[in-house]
Structure 1
């Protein structure tokens, strides 16, 4: 799936010369946690988010350091922090280092960028102009659209059983799986040994995601690798 299929457009943005009060009001009224900062010609120049309002003099939350640590910090960094804690315009507190994406980018690329740069949203840029924005909430809406509805399909028990076995066989964590699968009227029963307790939840999730499964019962036994002792968590 590509960015253009799930991005939000047109974009709610704000101009660099706007006040931080205007930015805060806009974010609160639109229930969004960040805004791209856009010049009148549509050019992206930065981004402002809730995090930019955390260290504020008015709130008494600006950064404090001990005297000896303050001595070690460069005057330029201290000056920059002062502007961020006391600036009144968007262009004074915004981040001008913005990670962006393109319409044709894949959602996989977007998620990697968000994770690598620790950001919650990416402006979508085309020819230097902002044409959209993709945020975590857009990914959540996309997920909701593609999640299968439970009981939406009528699948035979044996087909369900074979699908669960195939899914387990394709997973590296289920190496040489000894898990037995039985299905009765859409209810999948998993039994047999597992050798890492974390495999239990993974096996249950694997079964839950198979079309036609109505419920999953857990009769798996954890075998402690060193002693060979079987541990039944339900016992």
Structure 2
């Protein structure tokens, strides 16, 4: 699955000369938490988000009572930047210009990792220098909901095939179980072996549960394999 498969294409944008009040109203009435900022030619200039609107003098949320020692260590440029964020009237003075973008062919897994690493909620999708979509955290969650369920293993595949798939799902992980400790009978996976930590046990169980054809997973940790 790629960006083009899940992105929002009905994009609401802001202009750099849009007032902060207008931008805030647009986001509220459109039910969005951020907008790309583009110029007249459609070139991406930045992003304006709810986070940029959090500390504003108009509503009394500016940084008024910061500890004196923070002002001592803050540079003049940092204090000046904070003042602009709290008092600027137009989007161009408030928007974030350090923008991360992706292309339409970017894998969804890479986008999820990018959002987490950069601690952002959305990323513009670009084509030929223009914004053609937005992928947000909510898009990723919708993709999870709408994914087609995995096709269960056919009856002909049998318990041996299910066992091999369970072992393959754990292969390469440090918490993987030994082959002899995984037994499958009538689609029920029995996990035998030594006592393991809670997290390791959960990982083993989830790997087995996600294997097509598995009806149930029964853990017998702390017991020797059944004879």
TM-score (norm 2): 0.83
SS of 1:174's partner is coil
Instruction: Tell me if structure 1 keeps the 8 A contact 2:16–2:39.
Output: yes
- Cα offsets for 1:17-75 (capped at 9, x unmatched): 22223322332333322111122321111101111122222333322323343133222
Shift of 1:158: 3.8
Indicate yes or no: 2:75 matched with 1:102: no
CA 1:215–1:130 in 2, change beyond 3 Å: closer, same or farther? same
SS of 2:133's partner is strand
SS of 1:116's partner is helix
* RMSD value, Cα: 2.6
Show the counterpart of 1:34.
34
Alpha-carbon separation, structure 2, partners of 1:140 and 1:73: 39
SS of 1:80's partner is helix
Show the counterpart of 1:162.
164
Show the counterpart of 1:144.
145
Alpha-carbon separation, structure 2, partners of 1:173 and 1:33: 40
SS of 1:181's partner is strand
Show the counterpart of 1:135.
136
CA 1:30–1:153 in 2, change beyond 3 Å: closer, same or farther? farther
Out of 183, 199, 205, the position equivalent to 1:181 is 183
Instruction: Tell me if structure 1 keeps the 8 A contact 2:167–2:179.
Output: no
Instruction: Tell me if structure 2 keeps the 8 A contact 1:168–1:203.
Output: yes
Alpha-carbon separation, structure 1, partners of 2:166 and 2:72: 62
Shift of 1:78: 1.1
- Cα offsets for 1:121-180 (capped at 9, x unmatched): 11112232211111122222223333525x855444443233213323443321646633
Shift of 1:108: 3.5
Shift of 1:9: 1.2
SS of 2:222's partner is strand
Instruction: Tell me if structure 1 keeps the 8 A contact 2:196–2:221.
Output: no
Structure 1 residues 53-64: aligned runs within 5 Å: 53-63=53-63, 64=65
Alpha-carbon separation, structure 2, partners of 1:25 and 1:179: 60
Alpha-carbon separation, structure 2, partners of 1:142 and 1:85: 37
Q: Which runs of 5+ in 2 are unaligned?
A: none
When the two structures are aligned, how many residues end up with a matched partner?
221
Q: Which runs of 5+ in 1 are unaligned?
A: 224-235
Ranked by relative contact order (alpha carbons within 8 Å, sequence separation 6 or more), the top structure is: 2
Alpha-carbon separation, structure 1, partners of 2:179 and 2:82: 56
Show the counterpart of 1:171.
173
Show the counterpart of 1:196.
197
